[in-house]
């Protein structure tokens, strides 16, 4: 069994960023000891240098391997350049060779814009990496910040990827196993053909809708990479777990 934590939208620098919740979450994750931690953007609120320095300090406390992509907030105020300097490449790969899982991280943010876009060059990069994973018989996870399908209970749609149609077509056509995003701060799972498309909440900010709480997702994948289970972990006086999706 492979365990992957998916967290997003830390929003360090926001007035209601909750350091206590982030530290509790990191401690919980380190104890859980998953195979990987995916952080799908909005580490910072404004993309400021000192917010990224803080983010780097927190991320360094996470013991399992991490893969991190930027969000729209990280791309504000030249933050896209600072992200590369402090955090790492804006698109990157993490392979879990023993589990035969490949995680492809893409940058869906554009400088000083809230909407998302993967773009043609990154789409080609994604396609090459998918082919490589398929040749090796790997389970494929793709992560980027913006949602690719509208999320329920999030009001008027504004920021879905502007090239959502083309990217979604490729993901479905190539039978990508799992697509993970953040941005709307609302956890939800869609399944389209053979592809599971999951969003996660904000892990450590009070940018919440209604009576929701900060949260993250824990994904378990069976040894044969055929079955996936996604659990929502809500942080409200300790951790509460709820199954969002489970293969039969
Ligand atoms: Fe966010
Ligand atoms: Fe966002």
How many angstroms does the Cα of residue 74 sit away from the middle of ligand 1?
9
- Counted domains in the chain: 1
Domain that holds residue 242: 2-246
Query: Which residues hold their Cβ within 5 A of ligand 2, which is an ion?
Result: 42, 71-72, 183
How many angstroms does the Cα of residue 5 sit away from the middle of ligand 1?
17
How many angstroms does the Cα of residue 8 sit away from the middle of ligand 2?
9
Kind of pairing between the strands at 188-192 and 195-199: antiparallel
Question: Which has more confidence, 96 or 212?
Answer: 96
Average pLDDT for the chain: 96
Rg (C-alpha) for the chain, rounded Å, is: 16
Q: What is the CATH number of the domain that holds 138?
A: 3.60.21.10
Confidence band for 108, pLDDT divided at 50, 70 and 90: very high
E strand spans, the chain: 2-7, 36-40, 66-69, 92-96, 101-105, 139-143, 178-181, 188-192, 195-199, 215-221, 228-235, 239-246
Confidence band for 159, pLDDT divided at 50, 70 and 90: confident
Model-wide pTM > 0.85: yes
**Over residues 107-122, mean pLDDT:** 96
């Amino acid at each position: 069994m492979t365990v992957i934590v998916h967290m997003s939208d830390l929003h360090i620098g926001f007035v209601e960023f909750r350091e206590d919740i982030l530290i509790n979450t990191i401690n919980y994750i380190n104890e859980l000891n998953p195979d990987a931690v995916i952080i799908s953007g909005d580490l910072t609120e404004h993309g400021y240098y000192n917010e990224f320095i803080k983010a780097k300090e927190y991320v360094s406390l996470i013991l399992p391997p991490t893969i991190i992509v930027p969000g729209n907030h990280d791309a504000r105020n030249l933050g896209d350049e600072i992200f590369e300097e402090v955090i790492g490449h804006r698109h990157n790969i993490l392979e879990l060779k023993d589990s035969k899982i490949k995680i492809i991280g893409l940058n869906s943010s554009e400088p000083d814009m809230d909407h998302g876009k993967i773009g043609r060059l990154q789409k080609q990069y994604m396609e090459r990496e998918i082919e490589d994973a398929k040749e090796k018989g790997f389970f494929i996870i793709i992560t980027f910040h913006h949602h690719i399908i509208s999320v329920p209970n999030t009001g008027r749609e504004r920021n879905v990827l502007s090239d959502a149609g083309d990217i979604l077509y490729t993901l479905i056509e190539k039978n990508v196993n799992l697509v993970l995003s953040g941005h709307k701060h609302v956890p939800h799972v869609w399944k389209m053909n053979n592809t599971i498309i999951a969003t996660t909440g904000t892990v450590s900010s009070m940018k919440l809708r209604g009576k929701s709480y900060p949260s993250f997702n824990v994904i378990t994948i069976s040894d044969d990479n055929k079955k996936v289970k996604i659990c929502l972990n809500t942080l409200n006086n300790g951790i509460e777990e709820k199954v969002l999706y489970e293969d039969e």
